[in-house]
C-alpha cells in the first residue's frame, strides 16, 4: 500500500512543499529513504522504527520505501521524522483517516516517540503559512514567540501518540493563551546621554529617516562608536512579521532570542572572517549581514577589515539579499540593513583634529584612505567627518532623547509628500558635501 502526507523543507530562509510518499511491500524488514536525503534524514529510519515500536506497532515482514518529493531538492535535518512516521502508519493501515494535502507535519522524533523541536522550526512554520497550508502539526517550543495565524491552525503535539489521537479525533491540544506583553530590557544608549555633536546627530537622523548608509570619519575619542551604538534607538520599532523573520534568521544561525521590538545591531570585530560576515560555510548559515536584516550593521575601524570582506559587501548593499553558492546548495538570505562604518582619517588618527598634531605624510594618509575602494565608498549616501567637542561650551545644555528623535523619523517615513522626501534627499547631499 502507499500513502502521502505533506511536510516543509527549507532552503535557507525559504521553504518549499515536500510530499512524503511511503510504499509498503511484503518482504525483508527494511526501510529505505530516497529523494536526496542527507545523513540526518537517512538516520530518521532508526528513529521512526524505535518510535513506532515504543507505541506497540510492528514493522516485521515489511519492505518500506520512503520518497521525499521533489526528488531533485536536497533534504536536510530531522524535519521529516513526524510526517514519515505518520505516512508509514497510513500505508500499513494502522491509521485509517483521510489527511488533506493542506495539512502539514514537521518535527523530530526521539526514540520513545516524543516530538522534539528542531533548528529553523520558525522558518518552516512561516513557509507553511506562505504555501497556503490550513493545518500544521508541530512540536511545542517555549523559546518560540506566540504564533497565531488567521488562515492556518497550529496543532502543538508533544508525542507521536498525541498526533495520532488528534488525527483520529480523540484528543485536543490545550488552548494556548497569548502571553502578556512585557517591555523588553534594552542595553542601548540614548541620544540624551551624548553631549554635543548636533551636526552628527542630525546626520544620523537623516540616515534613519531615509535608510541611508553612513561613513563616519574622525579622530579617536570624538564619539563615532558611541553614536553608532545609539543609532538603533531612533529607528522605527519592528513589526510582528519583521520580528518573526529576525528570529528565524537567528535560529538558522543557532541562536535563540526573545521577540525583539528594537531593530538588531550587529558589531563584528575587524578580525572576523568573510564567511562569518557574509554567510556560508560547508553547510551554509546566515552571516552578520543577515543577522542585521532590518537593523544596523556597524563596522568599527572599517579600514582594518580585509579588502576581500569589504568588497563582498557591495552586492548585498545594492540588492538587500545575499546569494551563497556551494557544491551542496545554493541559498539566498535576506540582508537589508543600514551600514554604519567608522574609521580614523589617517594611520595615527589625528588628521584634522583640533587637539592633536598629525604625524602622517600625505602619502600615508592617501594609502590609508584607499583601503576603501571607490565603488564601496559610493554605497555610502552620507559621509560624515566628526571632531572632538569642547565640553566647556556645552555645560548646562540639555539633549533630545532618542524617543523624541524617533517620532520625527517615524513621521518622515510615513509621510508621502514630495516636500518631506526632498528634504531628506537634500539633507543627505549636504552631509556628503
Judgement on whether residues 144 and 284 belong to the same structural domain of the protein: no
Q: What percent of the chain has pLDDT over 70?
A: 91
pLDDT in the model for residue 221: 87
Using DSSP bridges, classify how beta strands 30-34 and 279-280 pair: parallel, antiparallel or unpaired: unpaired
Looking at every residue in the chain, the average pLDDT score rounds to 88
Domain co-membership, 310 together with 401? yes
53 and 94 part of one domain: yes
Judgement on whether residues 223 and 282 belong to the same structural domain of the protein = yes
Give a yes or no: residue 23 inside a domain. Answer: yes
What integer pLDDT is reported at residue 416 of this predicted model? 43
Residue 1 pLDDT class (50, 70, 90 cuts) = confident
Residues 132 and 205 in one domain: no
129 with 225, same domain?
no
pLDDT at 431 over 90: no
Cα 30 to chain centroid distance, Å, stands at 39
pLDDT value at residue 179: 56
Q: Which of 167, 199, 216 is the last residue of a domain?
A: 167
For 333, residues 6+ apart whose C-beta sits below 8 A from its C-beta are 12, 13, 249, 279, 286, 287, 290, 293, 321, 322, 324
pLDDT winner (highest mean) among 199-213, 313-327, 405-419: 199-213
Model pLDDT, residue 432: 42
Q: What total of structural domains would you count in the chain?
A: 2
Q: Is residue 90 part of a domain?
A: yes
Using pLDDT thresholds of 50, 70 and 90, give the confidence band for residue 213.
Answer: very high
- Cα of first residue to Cα of last residue in the chain, in angstroms, is 74
- Residue 341 within a domain: yes
Q: Is residue 183 part of a domain?
A: no
Helix-strand-coil split of the chain, %, nearest 5 = 35, 20, 45
Asked whether residue 361 is domain-assigned, the answer is yes
- For residue 221, give the C-alpha cell: 575619542
Cell matching residue 201 = 546627530
Q: What pLDDT, on a 0 to 100 scale, did the predictor assign at position 186?
A: 54
Model confidence at 285: pLDDT above 60: yes
Express each pLDDT in 343-394 by its tens digit.
999 999 999 888 889 999 999 999 999 999 999 999 999 999 998 887 776 6
Residue 40, domain CATH: 3.30.230.10
Are residues 221 and 357 part of one domain?
Answer: yes
Q: What is the pLDDT of residue 142?
A: 83
- Does residue 283 sit in the same domain as residue 408? yes
pLDDT at 429 over 60: no
pTM as predicted: 0.84
How many helices (H) does the chain have, and how many strands (E)? 16, 18
Residues 104 and 46 in one domain: yes
The reply to whether 411 falls in a domain is yes
Q: For the domain that residue 221 is a member of, what is the CATH number?
A: 3.40.50.300
Rounded Cα gap, residues 36 and 39, in angstroms? 10
Domain that holds residue 196: 191-432
Domain identity same for 153 and 9: yes
Query: Is 182 a member of any domain?
Result: no
The answer to whether residue 184 is domain-embedded is no
Listed residues 133, 167, 201: the one ending a domain = 167
Pick the closest to residue 324 from 333, 335, 316, 336 (CA basis). 333
Domain co-membership, 131 together with 39: yes
β-strand partners of 382: 214
Instruction: Give residue-wise pLDDT tens across range 158-196.
Output: 999 999 999 998 888 876 656 555 554 456 788 888 888
What is the mean predicted confidence (pLDDT) over 17-22? Answer: 96
163 and 268 share a domain?
no
Amino acid at each position: 500500500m502507499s500513502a502521502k502526507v505533506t511536510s516543509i523543507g527549507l532552503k535557507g530562509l525559504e521553504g518549499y512543499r515536500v510530499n512524503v510518499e511511503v510504499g509498503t511491500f511484503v518482504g525483508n524488514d527494511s526501510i529505505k529513504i530516497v529523494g536526496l536525503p542527507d545523513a540526518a534524514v537517512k538516520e530518521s529510519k532508526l528513529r521512526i522504527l524505535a518510535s513506532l515500536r515504543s507505541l506497540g506497532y510492528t514493522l516485521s515482514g515489511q519492505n518500506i520505501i520512503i520518497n521525499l518529493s521533489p526528488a531533485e531538492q536536497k533534504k536536510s535535518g530531522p524535519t521529516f521524522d513526524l510526517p514519515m512516521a505518520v505516512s508509514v502508519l497510513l500505508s500499513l493501515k494502522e491509521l485509517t483517516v483521510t489527511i488533506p494535502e493542506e495539512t502539514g507535519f514537521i518535527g523530530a522524533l526521539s526514540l520513545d516517540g516524543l516530538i522534539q523541536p528542531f533548528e529553523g522550526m520558525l522558518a518552516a512554520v512561516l513557509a507553511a503559512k506562505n504555501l497556503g497550508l490550513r493545518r500544521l502539526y508541530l512540536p511545542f517550543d517555549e523559546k518560540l514567540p506566540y504564533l497565531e495565524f488567521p488562515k492556518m491552525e497550529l496543532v502543538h503535539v508533544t508525542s507521536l501518540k498525541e498526533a495520532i489521537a488528534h488525527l483520529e479525533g480523540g484528543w485536543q491540544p490545550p488552548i494556548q493563551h497569548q502571553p502578556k506583553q512585557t517591555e523588553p530590557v534594552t542595553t542601548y544608549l540614548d541620544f540624551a546621554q551624548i553631549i554635543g555633536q548636533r551636526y552628527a546627530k542630525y546626520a544620523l537622523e537623516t540616515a534613519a529617516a531615509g535608510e541611508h548608509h553612513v561613513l563616519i570619519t574622525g579622530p579617536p575619542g570624538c564619539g563615532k562608536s558611541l553614536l553608532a551604538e545609539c543609532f538603533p534607538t531612533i529607528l522605527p520599532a519592528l513589526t510582528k512579521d519583521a520580528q518573526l523573520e529576525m528570529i528565524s534568521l537567528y535560529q538558522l544561525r543557532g541562536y535563540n532570542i526573545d521577540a525583539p521590538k528594537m531593530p538588531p545591531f550587529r558589531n563584528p570585530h575587524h578580525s572576523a572572517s568573510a564567511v562569518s560576515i557574509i554567510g556560508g560555510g560547508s553547510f551554509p548559515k546566515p552571516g552578520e549581514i543577515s543577522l542585521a536584516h532590518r537593523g544596523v550593521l556597524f563596522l568599527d575601524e572599517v579600514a582594518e577589515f580585509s579588502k576581500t570582506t569589504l568588497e563582498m559587501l557591495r552586492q548585498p548593499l545594492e540588492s538587500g539579499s545575499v546569494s551563497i553558492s556551494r557544491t551542496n546548495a545554493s541559498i539566498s538570505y535576506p540582508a537589508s540593513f543600514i551600514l554604519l562604518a567608522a574609521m580614523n582619517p589617517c594611520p595615527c588618527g589625528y588628521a584634522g583634529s583640533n587637539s592633536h598634531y598629525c604625524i602622517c605624510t600625505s602619502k600615508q594618509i592617501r594609502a590609508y584612505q584607499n583601503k576603501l575602494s571607490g565603488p564601496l565608498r559610493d554605497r555610502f549616501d552620507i559621509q560624515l567627518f566628526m571632531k572632538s567637542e569642547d565640553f566647556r561650551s556645552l555645560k548646562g545644555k540639555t539633549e533630545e532623547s532618542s524617543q523624541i528623535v524617533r517620532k520625527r523619523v517615524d513621521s518622515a517615513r510615513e509621510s508621502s509628500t514630495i516636500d518631506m522626501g526632498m528634504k531628506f534627499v537634500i539633507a543627505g547631499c549636504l552631509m556628503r558635501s
